[in-house]
Structure 1
Amino acid sequence: MARSALTMTAATFAATAALLLTACGGGDEDASPDDIKGAGTGSSSPSASASGPVDADRPDVSLPAELKLVFDFERPSDADHAAALADAANYIRALDHGIAQQDPNDPAYRFYSTGGAEKYAKSQIEAWVKDGWTVTGDDRYFDADLEPVGKGKSVLVSFCRNQAKFYSKKVETGKVNYTEENLDSYQKFSLLMSPSEASAEVWQARQIEVQGRVKECKG
């Protein structure tokens, strides 16, 4: 199946609010959400290296025990960068939380996103729910890079993904769509993060771009 190769720069994010959707998956050509919808993922709890400010009003982003997300990030020394990275991870968690809950209007992703990134999350969850899929397995995010954007506090957060062991599962039957690792397993996510208007402690994803078949992420 065709997959788009996208490019990303800070200038691109500063100039346009275009939402770019790409496909993702483990490599099997069978139609499943990992292959044809694009799959953002989350995690049951923040890792120590990526954890940000604690906020009592933050929504639940816990996930089923069968789904494990790893954010192998080093905590930035800059406080804003650390908060942006932590909530970029929370956005990914929240997206998977919505899929696991089978709820396209789940409050978690709406808390951690706005604009194009919110529309992206909603569209992904809707697609998984419509086709009767949920998520399972292990998903790893690594090699984070942060770059200031514009004159404000916005930060472009980019990182690689290895989804070789991340699978779709039919909700009704529990059947898992296992796939083999290949170049399709490796992606690069880029998120434009900015402080929320409601709370300076919370950073929201405003735009998202996903590159598929990224050789540099395979190593």
Structure 2
Amino acid sequence: MIRRTSPALTALATATALLLTACGGESSEGDEKIPGAGESSAEASASPGEKAPTAADKLDRPEMKFPDDFKITFDWEKPSDPDGAAALGDAENYVKAIHYGIIKQDPESAAYKFYIEPMSQAHTYAKDQIQQYVDGGWSLMGELRNSNAKVKKGQAARTQVVTFCRDESKAFGKDIKTGKKVDGGGGDPNDSHYAVTLVMRESKSIDGYWKAVSIDGVKGAAECV
């Protein structure tokens, strides 16, 4: 039986008990090994009235371009708090990077590795999601819509908790060989809506650079339907 192959958070249910405990400990690799974390040639000085660039602003971030038949949108405003805004921005990048890995059919994609703490639950989740699509011979098509983001300071040091709603009702799996939509059948429309929680932690060595530690999702959450 072919399941509906939207980029759903279906793999999260079995790991829910592990998610929040994962954010309390440090990564085994720390901040020393950062894929693609070289500095760009951006100007270091800011014009009068502009915010001075942080170390994170000068990172050589991975470029992610999606095909015309797939779109991922983030409908929210950035928080006024600099830490919250930076954490939300890199949470968005982490989500994009997972789907970029699916499009590229690359479970070892450098894009998502740039935005995770190595060996974290967020690392395992990203790799497993991409691998599922590769094994099934699927890519993505349609539109993924994310909205209603909120950010609050986490209990652990240097952490921010990002929550948002995800609407997968217009996103579908695409057969790699035929280019056609994978028909996963019907079902409860609410199953396409999720409340997502991401725990982000700031790098020890690069100010303003946040990496995903854990991800959780609740299917059919009332606040997101």
With the length of structure 2 as denominator, give the TM-score of the two structures: 0.73
In structure 2, C-alpha distance between the alignment counterparts of 1:35 and 1:204, rounded to whole Å: 20
| Match of residue 217, structure 2, among 201, 210, 213 | 210
Once the two structures are superposed, residues 93-121 of structure 1 have per-residue CA deviations (whole angstroms, 9 ceiling, x without a partner) of 00001000000000000000121101100
CA contact (8 A) 1:95 1:109 kept: yes
Counterparts of residues 53-72 of structure 1 (less than 5 Å): 54-72=57-75
- Alignment match, 2:136: 131
Partner Cα separation in structure 2 for residue 91 and residue 36 of structure 1: 15
Q: Secondary structure at the match of 1:177?
A: coil
Retained in 1: the 8 A contact 2:72–2:143?
yes
1:159-170 to structure 2, matched below 5 A, reads 159-170=164-175
Query: Cα distance, 1:169 vs. partner?
Result: 0.3
Q: Alpha carbons of 1:197 and 1:173: their partners in 2 closer, same or farther (altered >3 Å)?
A: farther
Using the aligned pairs only, state the percent identity.
35
1:140 paired residue number: 145
1:32, CA displacement in angstroms?
A: 3.7
Letter aligned with residue 33 of structure 1? T
Aligned pair partner of 1:192 in 199, 208, 213: 199
SS in 1 for 2:96: helix
Cα offset, 1:152, TM superposition: 2.2
Deviations 1:31-73 (A, max 9, x none): 2433887389xxxxxxxxxxxx644410122211211111011
How many residues are treated as equivalent by the alignment? 178
Q: Who is 2:208 aligned against?
A: 201
Label 1:35 to 1:120 Cα distance change in 2 as closer, same or farther (>3 A).
Answer: closer
* AA in 2 matched with 1:190: T
List structure 1 runs of 4+ shifted beyond 4 angstroms: 178-181
Deviation of 1:210 (Å): 1.0
Aligned twin of 1:105: 108
Task: Show structure 2 runs of 5+ residues with no match.
Answer: 13-55
Distance 2:88 2:116 in 1: 13
- Identify unmatched segments of 5+ residues in structure 1: 1-28, 41-52
Question: Quick one: structure 1 residues 36 and 204, their matched pair in 2 at CA, closer, same or farther if it must change by over 3 Å?
Answer: closer
Indicate how the Cα distance of structure 1 residues 151 and 126 shifts in structure 2: closer, same or farther if over 3 A, else same.
closer
- Cα deviation for residue 195 of structure 1 reads 1.1
AA aligned opposite 1:61: M
Report the CA distance between 1:180 and its aligned residue: 7.5
Cα distance, 1:177 vs. partner?
2.5
Structural RMSD (CA): 2.3
SS state at 1:159 partner? strand
